Structure 1
Amino acid sequence: MSAYQLTPKATRDIFDIWLWIARDSVESADRVEIAILENCQMLAEMPKAGHLRIDLTKKAVLVWPASPYDKYVIVYDPRSKPLRILRVVHASRRKVWRRGI
């Protein structure tokens, strides 16, 4: 099993996502958090699975939708060992992508 590391920003992102969803349903928030972490593990095992999005950031990072909750996107550095998860953001938050990664 390959390893991954969440940056402090990614950890905060996941916590904020959980808090937002938990306002309506703690069970749903738990499901989304688990799915995000499972996707992080999958990326650690297959780091080239993501997509290069030079329209969103100038850094050499890849993005991956946190399936099945594709509105959340995992941003990561595929060259790092262990794999560094940089951010987990809502797909519509392009400003965060440009300034915060």
Structure 2
Amino acid sequence: MAELFVTRRAEADLRSIWRYIAYDNPAAADRILLRIDERMQILRHFPEIGALRNDIRRGMRMLVEGNYLLLYEYDSRKDEVDLIAVIDGRRELSGLL
């Protein structure tokens, strides 16, 4: 099982997502973060599950949860997943990283 590291950027993204949704519905915000966390755990077991997104950055992978894109990199030599960012998939991706 791969070790998962969450970058400061990804932590900030998760806080922002929660705050934005919680303004109207805290319970919904909790549910969305729970689903994102479940996806993060899947990455630990199946780190190569996400689609390669070399168009964003070489070696970048993407896993989708609802409207959100989990952008991460996997180092197979170290068996480590780095969650780089969690982005609303309805946004333009170019220039976000």
Mark yes or no: TM-score above 0.5: yes
Q: Which runs of structure 1 show a deviation greater than 2 angstroms over 4 or more consecutive aligned residues?
A: 97-101
So what's the TM-score if we normalise by structure 1? Answer: 0.83
2:9 is equivalent to residue 9 of structure 1: yes
Query: Aligned residues, how many?
Result: 95
Once the two structures are superposed, residues 7-62 of structure 1 have per-residue CA deviations (whole angstroms, 9 ceiling, x without a partner) of 0000000000000100111000001111111101111110110001234x133110
* Cα distance in 1, alignment partners of residues 52 and 2 from structure 2: 22
1:18 maps to a residue whose letter is W
Kindly indicate which of the two structures has a greater share of residues assigned to strand. Answer: 2
Q: Which residue of 1 aligns with 2:63?
A: 64
Q: Which residue of 1 aligns with 2:45?
A: 45
Two-structure CA RMSD over aligned residues (Å): 1.7
TM-fit CA distance, 1:2: 4.0
Contact 1:3 1:41 in 2 (8 A): no
Q: Which residue of 2 aligns with 1:86?
A: 84
Q: Matched residue of 1:47: which SS?
A: coil
Q: Matched residue of 2:30: which SS?
A: helix
Unaligned runs of 5+ in 2: none
Contact 2:74 2:80 in 1 (8 A): no
Q: Which residue of 2 aligns with 1:19?
A: 19
Contact 2:68 2:88 in 1 (8 A): yes
Contact 1:50 1:62 in 2 (8 A): yes
* Cα distance in 2, alignment partners of residues 77 and 90 from structure 1: 18
1:86 maps to a residue whose letter is I
Contact 2:2 2:47 in 1 (8 A): no
